[in-house]
Structure 1
Amino acid sequence: MYSISQLKRGISSPTLFCRELNRLYHRRLNRRPYNTRGVDVFAEDWDTLIILDACRYDMFERLAELEGRLESRISRGSATVEFLLANFDGRELLETVYVTSNPQLYRNRHRIDTELHAIIEVWSDTGWDERYGTVLPETVADAAIDAAESYPNKRHVVHFMQPHYPFLTDETTFDKGHLEDTGNEEGNVWNRLMESDLDVDAETIQTHYEDNLRSVLPAVERLLDTLDGKTVVTSDHGNMLGERARPVPVREWGHPRGLYTPELVTVPWLVVEGKARREITAAEGERELSEVEEQTVNERLRQLGYAE
């Protein structure tokens, strides 16, 4: 169940040990692989599903001023891999095009058995921004608009990276370690906060996180103005910002897998009816996942704050 390195970390860190206890509680002693209370996103009615990675419902409700009917849903995962496994795995989705800035589907391509009509990996080549170590919102929007023109009779899933870490600001230094390969995979902001190894207050972290959400909203609005059909804006999971988890009341940061707190699984569900609905047809996939060097995939996941 756990690797030797994970067991050593848990023994040496009381906070990580408490996290594992909470994870066992939420996953019913690992009897369920994901949050079975969550929504099956592909069973819902939409032509375009816009995913804002790690976007909390309460933050979206407060900051987003997009036209539409705002509801909430419960996600099947508290991390992207869980979300993908719970919604994509074992499914033939030949009517769907996936435009993604997140490398996790590629990284887990041998675990997630799915067949999509096309996958557009914005993160894999020129879409990656070396300055910030992520994919910027306008880059994803451009790719989504191109995909809509190339595949007019398909459902589209558009996966933005923001508000997910890293923070898109030049004003801070505490969060820029992801731009350098230090060899320390545990050095991202969330793990350092969890270990009380970062002297930054929760209000500052929340401010930068909210700014990340603000950075993606204009790109989302552009898509809502451009794409036809019915669009839903949602998230794969939320993010903890120092709130206490349960049942062990340890302060949590980030979005660890298998913790189904309200902050992590309550996500926005903004319904924008649009004009004429898209006529959706299924067809055999046009190409497989592109070949990307494993070192590149690992480096980009590291810069995004992922640590195994």
Structure 2
Amino acid sequence: MEARSRLARALNNPVLFLRGVNRLFHRRFGTRDYNPEGVDVFAADWDTLVVLDACRYDMFERRADLPGRLERRRSRGSTTVEFLRANVAGRDLTDTVYVTANPQLHQHRESIQPAFHAVVDVWREDGWDDDHGTVLPETMVEYAERAAEQYPNKRLVVHFMQPHYPFVNADTGFDEGHLDGTGDERENVWHQRLLGTLDIDRDELWRLYDENLDYVLPHVETLVDALDGKTVVTGDHGNMVGERATPIPFREWGHPRGIYTDELVDVPWLVVEGESRRSITRGDAEPAAEMDSDVVSERLRNLGYAE
């Protein structure tokens, strides 16, 4: 039913149809489930993996002033779900605790079937900020430090929501309908810009996007300083801000699934060597906690997840 609805929307809107054609190209007409050039993040050497949602390599290179060795990597996905499926599904991760601001793992747990030792869903009631429609980075630091104390012999993945939309400290009004539920659920800022229903300058969108990264970076530095072991800071995927897509060169916005342009899959890989390494052991996989599906859907809508 969902696939049929997407097809109908694409046929009614030429730019969505062109996006679909580009997706067929990048996924080689369905023979690829993810970007095969992407890094296998759980095979890499780290004790803590800090994931910044929708963080492009070039913006991180320009804005971040964190200690460590910065490298460029390719992500396996252009969306969080694609990133998770490509890296998490079908593998034993009982040596790892996933601390996340993003509800996508919970939403797609039946298809991904994660086998983490534990999952800390910060986006549940006490970690969610209703005023901004997201999880704030300072909250993530608190939960991550608590998880490090509770699970001293586990690898940690700490998945921040920023610089992903919504733009936390922006003095804007164009996204109020989206965040309070009075607007079209499918039309976050990037989707509105793609469809031409939002008149906002590209430079202004870049400024808001950059400021969301600026907002999270000091909290990332706080966390890196607080944790022992070797830390890698990366992104799950990037984001397009009006660059030309391929192979059909229309201007693309946001982070559509299954499209692997540089802007969408080039992510930072900042390596911070710790003075000592964590001793990692495997354990049992804790059962997933249940959550009201309406609450999960509302969280995803607030974060702009609809294509």
Per the normalisation by structure 2, the TM-score is: 0.98
Deviation at 1:3, TM superposition (A): 2.3
Q: 1:114 aligns to what SS in structure 2?
A: coil
Query: Is the 1:97–1:157 contact (alpha carbons within 8 Å) kept by the matching residues of 2?
Result: yes
Deviation at 1:12, TM superposition (A): 1.1
In the TM superposition, what whole-angstrom CA distance separates every residue of 1:161-190 from its partner, at most 9, and x where no partner exists? 000000012411012223212362222111
Query: Is the 1:167–1:175 contact (alpha carbons within 8 Å) kept by the matching residues of 2?
Result: no
Query: Is the 1:133–1:178 contact (alpha carbons within 8 Å) kept by the matching residues of 2?
Result: no
Q: 1:298 aligns to what SS in structure 2?
A: helix
Deviation at 1:124, TM superposition (A): 1.1
Distance in 2, Cα, partners of 1:127 & 1:301: 14
In the TM superposition, what whole-angstrom CA distance separates every residue of 1:193-247 from its partner, at most 9, and x where no partner exists? 0011101000000000000000100110001110000000000000000001000
- Residue type at the aligned position of 2:165: Y
Distance in 2, Cα, partners of 1:138 & 1:269: 22
Query: Is the 1:55–1:239 contact (alpha carbons within 8 Å) kept by the matching residues of 2?
Result: yes
Q: Mind listing any 5+ residue stretches in structure 1 that lack a counterpart?
A: none
Distance in 2, Cα, partners of 1:125 & 1:37: 37
Query: Is the 1:27–1:34 contact (alpha carbons within 8 Å) kept by the matching residues of 2?
Result: yes
Q: Which residue of the partner structure matches residue 189 of structure 2?
A: 189
Distance in 2, Cα, partners of 1:178 & 1:48: 34
- Residue type at the aligned position of 1:302: R
Distance in 1, Cα, partners of 2:187 & 2:28: 30
Q: 1:271 aligns to what SS in structure 2?
A: strand
Deviation at 1:8, TM superposition (A): 1.4
Distance in 2, Cα, partners of 1:172 & 1:183: 15
Deviation at 1:39, TM superposition (A): 0.6
Structure 2 residue 206 is the aligned partner of structure 1 residue 221: no
RMSD across aligned positions (CA): 1.1
Structure 2 residue 269 is the aligned partner of structure 1 residue 269: yes
Distance in 2, Cα, partners of 1:245 & 1:170: 27
Q: Which residue of the partner structure matches residue 153 of structure 2?
A: 153
Q: Which residue of the partner structure matches residue 296 of structure 1?
A: 295
In the TM superposition, what whole-angstrom CA distance separates every residue of 1:237-284 from its partner, at most 9, and x where no partner exists? 000000010000011111000010000000000000011100001011
- Deviation beyond 6 Å, 4+ runs, structure 1: none
Q: Percent identity?
A: 60
Query: Is the 1:228–1:277 contact (alpha carbons within 8 Å) kept by the matching residues of 2?
Result: yes
Q: Which residue of the partner structure matches residue 85 of structure 2?
A: 85
Q: Mind listing any 5+ residue stretches in structure 2 that lack a counterpart?
A: none
Task: Count residues with an aligned counterpart.
Answer: 307
Q: Which residue of the partner structure matches residue 249 of structure 1?
A: 249
In the TM superposition, what whole-angstrom CA distance separates every residue of 1:51-82 from its partner, at most 9, and x where no partner exists? 00000000000000000000011000000000
Per the normalisation by structure 1, the TM-score is: 0.98
